[in-house]
Each structure stands twice: as structure tokens, then as C-alpha cells.
Structure 1
Amino acid sequence: MNPQTATRLETRQGAAWITLNRPENRNALSAALVNELYHHLQAANADDAVRCIVITGSGTAFCAGADLKSPPGATISGEASVPYADVLIAIQESPKPVIAAVNGAAFAGGLGLIGAADIVVVVDDIQCSFSEVRIGVIPAVISVVCLPKLGPHHGMKLFLTGERFSGRDA
């Protein structure tokens, strides 16, 4: 993938729109995408013309979670990439409100982006799941941002079962 193609950044009417731009992979979180997302968040926060940040996905999915072929944290051109946890921290600590505009399915790490956001706008008929538990992976990193919003009882049920839920249920 060419540099700066896993995401797009554009500013419209005071809002920085960061679009996850890997529709062929359902916007899976590759090392390149995580790096670009982190740097776009930094740029948007540094831009005085930006009053809020919107994160959305291209295609039919918001984000499918980690790209297992190029997971976040992998090296890119011999250099270490930004850890996914740093992206979640950048979203949570942003001095500008971060809005997750969830346009399609959100699974695993994609739910972490949603959990870290200040405001979430979601389409009713999308599907969501902490799907990593179905392959034996604990949603440890994203649980930090998701659990406070889900509550302990509901969160544990979803973390342990990987059960799907809709945007309406969310």
C-alpha cells in the first residue's frame, strides 16, 4: 500500500474527517492504517481551524478489527509502527471532541475506536461483536475504553461470548 492511502484526512466546515480507507479489507487495522490514523489525529488537534474530529469508514464496514496479515505494532519499512493503544489514548485525550460516525459493521478493535470516542453516531442495522473471543483472543486493550460505556455486567457478557449486537442495541 502506498503511503497515506490506508486513511484519508479532509477538513470540512471546521471538522476534520478521518476516513478508514481499506474497504477491500473492511477497513481492518493494519500497521499502516494505525500509523496514519495516529498522525491524522495529531494533525487535526494541531490545526486551529478544526473544532471536532470525525472518524468513519469507507465502504460497507466501519472497521473489522485487526488485520491479521499486518497487525498493529508490526514494523513498516524496518521501523516500529505506532501501537494501537496509543491511538485509543490519542482519541480519549484529544482536546477536541472525537465523533465516531459508524457507517457499517464494527468488530473487535473497531469497537475500541468507538469506545474511545466522545460521541457515537451509528446506523441502526449494522452488526457489532467482540469477535476476537471466538478465536481465543481476549479484548484486553479495547476493554479499557469499552467497559466503562458498556457497564460491567453487559460488557463481560459481550467480552466472553462474542455475541453479535446491532447498532440499535448498542
Structure 2
Amino acid sequence: MNLIYTEVSIDTRGVATLTLNRPEVHNAFDDKMIAELIGILDNLAADDSVRILVLKANGKNFSAGADLNWMRAMADKDYQQNLDDADELAELMHKLDRFSKPSIALVQGAAFGGAIGLVACCDIAIAADDASFCLSEVKIGLVPAVISPYVMRALGERQSRRYFITAERFSANTALNLGLLHQVVTKNQLDESAEHFIQNLLLNSPAAIKAAKTLIHNIYNRKIGNNVIAHTTQAIAEIRVSEQGQEGLTAFLNKRKPNWQSEE
């Protein structure tokens, strides 16, 4: 795949690093960048050697959100064209949110508009202490519609009411308190902090991680009733008899490392 707006690397451990690479426009995204990101996520999801995804950005800022020239072009298009365009962004958010391997977002500088959606879709989000965030859409007469399910899930309805309509800029520490982030560190500690999570994740069964992510998506915010209870009992029964479930239990009982862990 010919990459123009991003960089991708995969290390020997199976850690894939996906880097937004339009620093000259603060990594703002347009339809071409969105399509490229969708293609990359599809390729990484299908690659069994990939165990973890790290999403980061080159330059001063993580992402300024939507590209101004792209927005200008969309303003001249009709409803159906805008709907088709929004569908592409929705597909990107959905694919990142449902990515089958663990994902870590590393944020520096500004993360505005749709960039907050990318952060909210990752399993783990870490930001530099000088990072700032803004759901800026209403300032230009728009709404954060496509990213709203993911951002509201992170912030909750009450805080979303505030930040969706005020378009206030808020700090990394505020984002941490709101639930958008898991950790705030200095800028030069971003990679080190990610490595801490990576090392923990690599100890765990890839199949179990995938199943755990699916479990969360299927159970969160549902009333606890017969259907939910049945889903949870089926989930544990299936994973117990699975290949990695059997390997993990056997390794634990025999006091050895499971086969997904490095021998180093």
C-alpha cells in the first residue's frame, strides 16, 4: 500500500506504529487521509503477526481535526455527497473502535474536533501534559456528530453537554479527569509510558484480548438480564475450551510461560 499521509512500522514483537504524517497542516485529515487510514487498519487487523497498535503523530500537534480545504470543498457539495463523505469518517471511527488488537493513542500538542474521536476509539490513551483538546465544531456552525458516540462514551452525557456546546479548549489533566485519557506524562515520557503498557499487553493471550474487547462492546450499558447473563456464560465457556484458553490454563498449572510470551 502506497502511503502518503501516514507512516507504518511493525517491530519484531508485533507492535505496529501508525503515525499521522501531515505535520505541515498539523495532521489535519481529509477524505484521502481517511481512506488511507481505513486501508491500514484493515491490513493490520488481517495481519496475524500484529499484536498491538500504537497511534501517534509527527510534528508539534496530534491533529487539528478536519482539513480546511476539505471542509471548504464539502461546503460546495450536496447532501448526498456530504452523507457519503461522513460515512467514510464513520467507517474509520468504527474500525478503530472495533480493532481486534489492543490500541494505544499517544497525544502531543493539539487534538481538536475529529482527532478527539480517534483518541476516544483507542483502548488506552496517553497525552503529554501540555496537550490540549477542543470539540470545536460549533464554532464554525457544525456539530461533532460522527465522533459523538465514542466521545460521549468516554466523557459521559453530562460533560458532553458542556464541551459539545461551549467548544472550550481543555487541558490534558482535565481530559484525564473527564475519562478521555488514562495517563498524562511529560512529552518526552510518551514513548516510555506506551512501552509500559506494551510490555503488559504482550504477556496476555491475543485471543483472550480480542474476546475481552468483544465482551465489552457486547455488554456495556445493557441491562443485566437473562440475555446478558447468557452471553457472559457462553463467553467464558468458549474461551476455556479454545486453543489459547487451554494453553494458558495448562501453562499456569504447570508453572511455565504460555506460548504467546517471549522466551527472553
**TM-score normalised by L of structure 1:** 0.89
CA contact (8 A) 1:123 1:168 kept: no
CA distance, structure 2, for counterparts of residue 116 and residue 144 of structure 1: 10
Secondary structure of 1:141's aligned partner: coil
Supply the distance in 1 between the matched residues of 2:128 and 2:22 (Cα, whole angstroms): 20
- After TM superposition, the structure 1 = structure 2 runs for residues 27-66 of structure 1, keeping only pairs within 5 Å, are 27-66=27-66
C-alpha RMSD of matched pairs (Å): 1.8
Pick from 116, 119, 132: which aligns with 1:114? 119
Distance (whole Å) between structure 2 residues aligned to residue 115 and residue 156 of structure 1: 16
Higher RCO (Cα < 8 Å, 6 or more apart): 1
Task: Give the alignment's TM-score, normalised by structure 2.
Answer: 0.58
Cα offset for 1:66? Answer: 0.8
Shift of 1:103: 2.1
The aligned counterpart of 2:155 is: 150
Which residue of 1 is the match for residue 92 of structure 2? Answer: 87
SS class of match (2:146): helix
- Give 1:46 deviation, angstroms: 1.1
The DSSP-based 3-state class of the residue aligned with 1:153 is helix
Offset from partner CA, 1:3-30 (integer Å, 9 cap, x none)? 5210111112321111010000000011
User: What residue is the counterpart of 2:134 in the other structure?
Assistant: 129
Q: Which runs of 5+ in 2 are unaligned?
A: 75-83, 176-264
Structure 1 position 69, deviation (Å): 1.0
Query: Match of 2:4, as an amino acid?
Result: T
Q: How far apart, in 2, do the equivalents of 1:6 and 1:32 lie?
A: 8
Which residue number in structure 2 is paired with residue 9 of structure 1? 8
Give CA-to-partner distance per residue, 1:84-131, whole Å, 9 cap, x none.
110100011111111111122100010010111111011111111001
Alignment coverage as a number of residue pairs: 162
The equivalent residue for 1:98 is 103
Aligned equivalents of 1:144, 1:51: Cα separation in 2: 26
Task: State the identity %.
Answer: 39
- Residue 70 of structure 1, CA deviation: 2.4
Distance 1:33 1:98 in 2: 19
Greater Cα radius of gyration, structure 1 or 2: 2
Contact persistence 2:108–2:130 (CA under 8 A): no
Q: What amino acid sits opposite 1:14 in the alignment? A: G
Aligned twin of 2:145: 140
One-letter amino acid of the counterpart of residue 10, structure 1: S
The answer to whether the 8 Å contact 1:8/1:20 transfers is: yes
Segments of 4+ moved more than 6 angstroms: none
Would you say the 8 A contact 1:130–1:163 is kept in 2?
yes
Partner of 2:204: none
Higher strand share: 1
| Residues 15 and 53, structure 2, Cα contact 8 Å, conserved in 1 | yes
Instruction: Classify the secondary structure of the residue corresponding to 1:138.
Output: coil
